[in-house]
């Protein structure tokens, strides 16, 4: 099934370049011609860009989007464009962790995106890294030590 | 003096807080719900292993050898599936926080070259807590019995190129631990519904070892693969029977290091790379 087109040592790099404020414009205003009625709405869309670790775009990669209420069945499927990009608009009425699976050339990855009524944020990037935690801990300790020294000096 | 005492007290308090927070994390890791699931909220998890069409049907190596396999034994132990929320990602490294963990007892040795092993079913675990098993770890261990005894990975097959035929046996003694995230593939795996059944797959990509002759030679896959030629030159009268200990002496240092490196890229969960580290 996955026999062809495998890239060794490649790990999928999936980056959200812009999750918000990508207006999907179907048409400007309303136009009528030959019985066709066109209109547009603005929606917040997610743009996913997928690359191999060689920086080559995953052009034509298969994309499957899974909604939180149905993790086994794709809510949407599609393919990345020639730049490895894929756009979709999650249903705001299905809040939770949306998953985007991208596969091509025998390798793939999974991107998680937290969606709620107030907006979209990439899952897994809201926490702090180990070095960040260490730095914050050191800063807090230093602050407390300084405070202790300050009050100690005043008493003496 | 009083000043230094105050500083020491503050420092001790901070260290205590940090220590306790660390302990809490450990407790969470150790307190995965392994045995107390409500029977009405359980299902069956089937553990499988797959070498894909490459190993079942054979393939063309990057250096033009047509490979076919009679045996491709992989021996696995310590197989453990996890439910993780937030979902585990291999980018996190080896620390995995889980809510549920189920373990498959015993050592399982399977021949991935067997055409019926599409994939190979290792064992079913009944009455596991329902939920999404989105991470799996296992170890590739030396077999203590059977055709691949003494080896964690054991390949037997034929290679043919331009009328030259090499019957080869390649044994790998090195043991490797793997940890992978959610299954990446045509379908979702590992989602156990109440009274339902789901499978979870450990996948081995053998084109990482020999390369893929259907791809360009400068494809990253082929650039990082060993190919078969370094093995073919060691054959005597069309026969090659080697293991890792032999290859350490027979290979160039570069090829031997490459072979070791490939062992860390062999395992996947579907198409998702697994972390790997040598053990023993």
What's the mean pLDDT in B66-81?
98
CB contact under 8 A, A144 and B14: yes
Cβ atoms within 10 Å of B125's Cβ, excluding its own: 20
- B64 & B169 share domain: yes
pLDDT in tens, B75-117: 999 999 999 999 999 999 999 999 999 999 999 999 999 999 9
Cβ atoms within 10 Å of B219's Cβ, excluding its own: 21
Identify the CA nearest to A6 among candidates A105, A82, A100.
A105
- B91 & B2 share domain: no
The 8-class DSSP code of residue B270 comes to B
- Whether ipTM tops 0.90, in short, is no
- B81 & B216 share domain: yes
- B18 & B72 share domain: no
What are the DSSP calls for B208-260, one per residue?
Answer: HHH--TTS-TTSHHHHT---SHHHHTT-BTTEEEEEHHHHHHHS-HHHHHHHH
Calpha distance A32→A34 (Å, rounded):
7
* B212 and chain A in contact, CB less than 8 A: yes
- B10 & B109 share domain: no
- B20 & B75 share domain: no
Calpha distance A42→A23 (Å, rounded):
5
The predicted pLDDT at position A26 comes to 38
More confident residue, B82 or B29: B82
Residues 6+ positions from B9 with CB-CB distance below 8 Å: none
The predicted pLDDT at position A20 comes to 39
Confidence of residue B13 (pLDDT cuts 50, 70, 90): low
Q: Which residues of A touch B223 (CB under 8 A)?
A: 8
Range of the domain at B50: 40-279
Q: pTM of this prediction? A: 0.77
Whole-angstrom CA distances from A20 to A85, A117, A121 are 15, 13, 9
Q: How many residues does chain A have?
A: 156
- B7 & B138 share domain: no
Percent of chain A with pLDDT strictly greater than 70 = 62
- B26 & B55 share domain: no
Interface probe for A, chosen from B56, B184, B222 (most Cβ of A below 10 Å), is: B184
The predicted pLDDT at position B2 comes to 56
The predicted pLDDT at position B221 comes to 86
Contact present, B75 and B144 (Cβ < 8 Å): no
Search chain A and give the residue with CA nearest B59: A3
Q: Which residues of A touch B215 (CB under 8 A)?
A: 4-6
Cis ω for the linkage preceding B224 (within 30 of 0): no
- B65 & B9 share domain: no
- B45 & B71 share domain: yes
- B109 & B236 share domain: yes
The predicted pLDDT at position B99 comes to 97
pLDDT in tens, A4-20: 444 433 444 445 444 43
CB contact under 8 A, A8 and B223: yes
Asked whether the predicted pLDDT for residue B29 surpasses 70, the reply is no
pLDDT in tens, B225-254: 999 999 999 999 999 999 999 999 999 999
List, in sequence order, every residue forming a beta bridge with B79; answer none if it has no partner.
B104
Closest Cβ opposite residue A103 in set B86, B205, B271: B271
**What is the Cα A85 distance to its own chain's centre?**
12
The predicted pLDDT at position A130 comes to 47
Q: What are the backbone dihedrals phi and psi of residue A76, each rounded to the nearest 5 degrees, phi first?
A: -155, 140
Domain count, chain B: 2
pLDDT in tens, A22-64: 444 434 455 555 788 999 988 889 999 999 888 889 999 999 9
Q: Which residues of A touch B96 (CB under 8 A)?
A: none
Asked whether the predicted pLDDT for residue B278 surpasses 90, the reply is yes
- B13 & B135 share domain: no
The predicted pLDDT at position A107 comes to 79
């Amino acid at each position: 099934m996955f026999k062809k087109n495998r890239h060794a040592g490649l790990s999928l790099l999936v980056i959200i370049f812009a999750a918000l404020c990508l207006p999907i414009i179907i048409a400007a205003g309303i136009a009528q011609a030959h019985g066709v009625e066109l209109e547009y709405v603005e929606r917040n869309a997610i743009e996913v860009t997928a690359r191999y670790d060689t920086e080559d775009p995953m052009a034509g990669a298969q994309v499957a989007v899974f909604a939180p209420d149905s993790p086994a069945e794709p809510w949407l499927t599609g393919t990345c464009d020639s730049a490895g990009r894929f756009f979709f608009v999650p249903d705001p009425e299905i809040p939770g962790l949306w998953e985007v699976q991208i596969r091509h050339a025998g390798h793939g990855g999974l991107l998680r995106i937290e969606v709620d009524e107030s907006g979209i944020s990439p899952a897994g990037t809201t926490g702090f890294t180990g070095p960040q935690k260490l730095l914050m801990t050191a800063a807090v300790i230093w602050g407390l030590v300084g405070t202790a020294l300050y009050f100690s000096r005043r008493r003496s | 003096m009083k000043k230094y005492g105050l500083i020491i007290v503050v420092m001790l308090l901070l260290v205590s807080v940090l220590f306790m927070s660390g302990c809490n994390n450990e407790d969470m890791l150790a307190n995965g719900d392994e045995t107390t699931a409500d029977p009405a909220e359980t299902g069956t998890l089937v553990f499988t292993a797959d070498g894909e069409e490459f190993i079942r049907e054979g393939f063309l190596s990057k250096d033009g050898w047509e490979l076919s396999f009679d045996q491709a034994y992989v021996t696995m132990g310590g197989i453990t599936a996890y439910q993780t929320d937030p979902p585990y990602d291999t980018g996190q490294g080896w620390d995995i926080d889980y809510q549920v963990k189920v373990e498959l007892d015993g050592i399982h040795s399977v021949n991935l070259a067997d055409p019926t092993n599409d994939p190979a079913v290792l064992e079913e675990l009944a009455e596991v807590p329902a939920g999404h098993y989105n991470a799996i770890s296992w170890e590739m261990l030396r077999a203590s019995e059977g055709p691949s005894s003494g080896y964690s990975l054991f390949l037997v097959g034929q290679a043919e190129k331009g009328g030259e035929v090499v019957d080869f046996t390649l044994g790998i003694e090195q043991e490797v631990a793997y940890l992978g995230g959610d299954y990446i593939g045509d379908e979702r795996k590992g989602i156990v519904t109440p009274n339902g059944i789901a499978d979870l797959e450990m996948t081995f990509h053998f084109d990482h070892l020999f390369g893929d002759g259907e791809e360009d030679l400068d494809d990253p896959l082929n650039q990082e693969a060993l190919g078969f030629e370094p093995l073919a030159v060691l054959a005597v009268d069309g026969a090659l029977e080697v293991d890792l200990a032999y290859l350490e002496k027979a290979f160039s240092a570069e090829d031997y290091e490459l072979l070791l490196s490939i062992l860390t890229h062999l395992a996947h969960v579907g198409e998702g790379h697994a972390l790997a580290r040598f053990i023993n």
